[in-house]
Amino acid sequence: MARRSSKFEFPTLPAVAWQPGLPVHGAATWVIVVGEGGLPAAAKDAGERLGVDLGRLLEVQQATGFSPTAGATAAYPLLTGEVTEILLVGAGDGSGKDLRHAGAAIARIGRGKDELTTVVAEGIDDARLQALAEGVVLGSFTYTLKTVDPGKPVVGRVTLTDGSEAERQAVLDRGVVIGRTGWLARQFATTPSNEKDPAWLAVRATELAASTGLEVRVWDEKQLAADGFGGILAVGKGSARPPRFIRLDYVPDGATKDTPYVVLVGKGITYDTGGLSLKPREGMVSMKRDMTGGGSVIATLAALRELGAPVKVTGLICSAENMPSGTAYRPDDVIRHYGGRTTEVKNTDAEGRLVLADGLAYAVKELKPDVIVDIATLTGAIKVSLGSMLYGGLFATDDALADNLADAGRVAGEQLWRMPLPAEYEELIATPIADSVNSSKGPGSITAALFLKAFAGDIPWAHLDLSSIAESPADRLEYSLGATGAGARLLTTWLTTPTPTSGVG
């Protein structure tokens, strides 16, 4: 039985604090962040404080194999004094990407410790300092239901300093919030599906809305039927746990009728067996994370007020559980979506586009935004195109929107690669029975995007197919083994830039 009564709580994150000047009494463990250019400027003063020649220590560690590549670590114990350990952490070329990796390494080596004093390069700019804070949060991620040996807790506090008297706490706070969106999306995706179903997801969204200043509305199965959400209903028919459609609304302070309006549509399949087009066992494992798109939308919306996003945003989460049963939808069924467009089903395992179609159609007809972006772990084909853990797929009808999203992806560390939307392939999803089919033998990620494009109307639209970056094979860099929560940091970074919709339309 799913535990729907348990109240969702924000995860316990490490505190990330800025210290003007070197602390008089630091933590028992000091971390020195070392880039390709060598030790930070404050290392000399820090070494004097610790009674260690850090330049010589670095030479010795390099002679035994340490290099300042991003995330590399080396430990040196101290036998006397308050400080018991010095850790060297590589920062690579000092870019935001490499500093995010360094932050994650700091978090991992800090597990079980109360505090780390961390010395960084003097004058580090805001973007790179923020990336370091994001890495600390992301590298701290943990989710376990173990009752024996659950592992070390996250580090309690990471205190950062460059030895100067500058005050940088606001930058770190932003990094923590963006890192938290990735953590929350991972937590949603990692929660096992015997607990997580569409109703559970709706309750979690409602709780987060109450704590972060959002409006919320949830459609249950009766309301979905009354309003004509045929795609969501069809996909959820085979499960004893009915579907939900969740709407979250954020309006910035001082918004006017001229404030740009963005709608996000997330795939929220809380478990995907493939339905009657049943997946093999190997393909079913990890399908608890098939709601990563919807989870990322919820996590993003929950951060917007805290970060002061300048645009109005509605998040639509299309949630169902795709199960085989005597009531399941079938290949050759014809579905009537919200707004009336029809789809002939050819593969019940191509369910994500069916639920997203309802969300897109609702956005066009009822909300009339300036921009629509849908996000999903939609196709295995995108992995064939782009491989794993490097790029997510981006499809768009507007060049400026594509550029803005790609720029945000580079900043956030969730890179996108733009894919084509050739009209010549539309015939691959044509059928005499309905407006289109939901699956074809053509290029899978492209035909899926073309299917969705028809529901976006004339509104500038982008589709993010993030299956290629949704699952990490190991604890590596800022990722943990399992679900990555792909898209939450990208969307939050984009929506909190000064002009997210610049040039669009």
Q: What is the set of active-site residues?
A: 279, 353
Tokens of 351: 């369910």
What whole-number distance in Å separates Cα of residue 97 and Cα of residue 369? 33
Tokens of 389: 């853990």
What whole-number distance in Å separates Cα of residue 230 and Cα of residue 6? 30
Contact 199, 241 (CB under 8 A): yes
101, 176, 230, 305 from 115: Cα distances, Å: 19, 16, 53, 29
What whole-number distance in Å separates Cα of residue 266 and Cα of residue 353? 10
Beta strands in 294-447, from DSSP E residues, in sequence order: 312-322, 334-336, 342-344, 371-376, 392-396, 416-418, 436-437
Amino acid identity at 391? Y
- Which of 449, 288, 273, 425 lies closest to 356 in space, CA to CA? 449
What whole-number distance in Å separates Cα of residue 260 and Cα of residue 257? 8
What's the residue count for the chain?
Answer: 505
Whose tokens are 């772990």? That residue is: 377
Bridge partner residues of 319 (DSSP): 244, 268
24, 28, 52, 374 from 80: Cα distances, Å: 17, 11, 11, 57
